[in-house]
Structure 1
Amino acid sequence: MARTAGSHGPKTMEAIRKAALTLIYRKGYEAITLRQLADAVGIQPGSLYNHVRNKQDILFDLVHDHMTTLLAEVEQAVPADAAPLAQLEAFIAFHVGYHITRREQVFIANSELRSLEAPNHSVIVGLRKQYEGVLIDILRQGRADGSLRVDEPTIAAYAILSMLTGICSWYQPTGRKSAEQLATLHRDLILRGIVA
């Protein structure tokens, strides 16, 4: 592919990130090469090193960006002063909506966690724990005020997150249910199980 005229600096880095996201999603981290990435962007392989040190940095950048965006947006989506039940409903709607619209990022963040080197892995696991902690705290507050029947908030949170994130593997925008309808269905399934 010919290099895009005028591509440099931030514009090239954004092209690298987009191409890496697509390639890793389609082929897997281990299967892609920097040469393939350079070809997809339309630059010489050696030019990649003007923007990234190595393939590991690219993967970490993609997953770290996904996790920091997820944390920032959940903070905006879940009202801190609301009752636990309202917080739980907001969390479910946010999680389903976010994950449906960012399927590539979610898939890579989950399936390629194993490909991160130890220091990078630790950073991402820490960010994941922060996100999980949002839901765990909601469930603990609901247990404390009696609005939610949750004996084990941490285990319940992991079960809920698995169910909600699983939507990425089967959701189709052209399916018979909209994203909003699916969020409502998931909310109802969860609330029927734990609302006191």
Structure 2
Amino acid sequence: MARRTGSNGAQTAETLRRAALALFARHGYAAVSMRMIAAEVGVQPGALYNHMGSKQDLLRDLMTAHMEDLLAAQAELPPRDDPAEALAAFTRFHIRFHMGREDAVFISYMELRNLEPENYAAVQALRAQYESRLRAILTRGAETGAFDIADASVAGRAVIAMMTGVTNWFREGGRLSAEDIEQIYIDMTLRAVGAQPRAPIQGG
């Protein structure tokens, strides 16, 4: 990818981040060098440090940016009093947000092991925030009798793992549309917590 003439620092930094994201997802963090990232964008290796820190800093920033975007988008969902409706809306949001972000999702899960301890703790703190939002829905459902679960924390992690896995195989243009997949996952999620699927819940 050639560098655009006249691109400013912010644009170059964003281009570098996108290139690194794709390379990390394709080859793995450990196999990608800063020189490879520079070559992908068309800049000299030494110029990278005008826009970012180390490769470790870059990995941390990619992971935290993904989680911060996820948290901000989820926070905009309207509150729902009914636990089943809240869980359905959470599921639809999670599926919809992650579709099209396969590289970011892959890195967020597969490259955790390559984060240094301080960076790992920062990313895990953001992940815990997101899990806590789902856990609150599950806890409310269990307390009201809407859900039949033994442990809200375990159930939440299982549900998130199931939903996030859709990025491993779903591609547009297949037998089922994205909307079909969302509804199937809503039905599976509700059944997983002992709730009966209802008519499709539209929107966020």
TM-score by length of 1: 0.95
Distance 2:152 2:62 in 1: 30
Residue aligning to 2:26: 26
Distance 1:139 1:70 in 2: 19
Matched residues in 2 for 1:125 and 1:22: separation?
Answer: 22
SS at match of 2:162: helix
Amino acid at match of 1:106: V
Q: Deviations over 1:28-84 (max 9, x none)?
A: 11101111111111111000011112101111111000000011111112x334321
- 3-state secondary structure, aligned to 2:31: coil
TM-score w.r.t. length of structure 2: 0.91
**Structure 2 counterpart of 1:171:** 170
The AA in structure 1 aligned to 2:61 is D
> 1:53 maps to which residue?
53
Quick one: higher RCO (CA 8 Å, sep 6+), 1 or 2? 2
CA–CA distance in structure 2, aligned partners of residues 133 and 35 of structure 1: 39
- Specify the alignment match of 1:105 in structure 2: 104
Q: Does 1:148 align with 2:147?
A: yes
Shift of 1:7: 2.0
Please state how far the C-alpha of 1:3 moved relative to its aligned partner: 3.4
Larger helix share, 1 or 2: 1
Amino acid at match of 1:29: Y
Which aligned runs of 4 or more in structure 1 are off by greater than 6 angstroms? none
Write the deviation string for residues 116-157 of structure 1: whole angstroms up to 9, x where unpaired: 111110000011011111111100001111211122111111
Q: 1:1-196 to 2 correspondence within 5 Å?
A: 2-77=2-77, 79-193=78-192, 194-195=194-195
Number of residue-to-residue matches in the alignment: 195
Deviates more, 1:79-88 or 1:123-132: 79-88
Identity among equivalent pairs (%): 42
Matched position secondary structure for 2:126 = helix
Cα distance, 1:86 vs structure 2: 1.2
AA partner of residue 90 (structure 1): A
Structure 1 portions without partners, runs of 5+: none
Q: SS in structure 2 opposite 1:82?
A: coil
**CA root-mean-square deviation:** 1.3
Distance in 2 between residues matched to 1:83 and 1:163, nearest whole Å: 22
CA separation in 2, counterparts of 1:192 and 1:180? 19
The answer for unaligned runs of 5 or more in structure 2 is 197-204
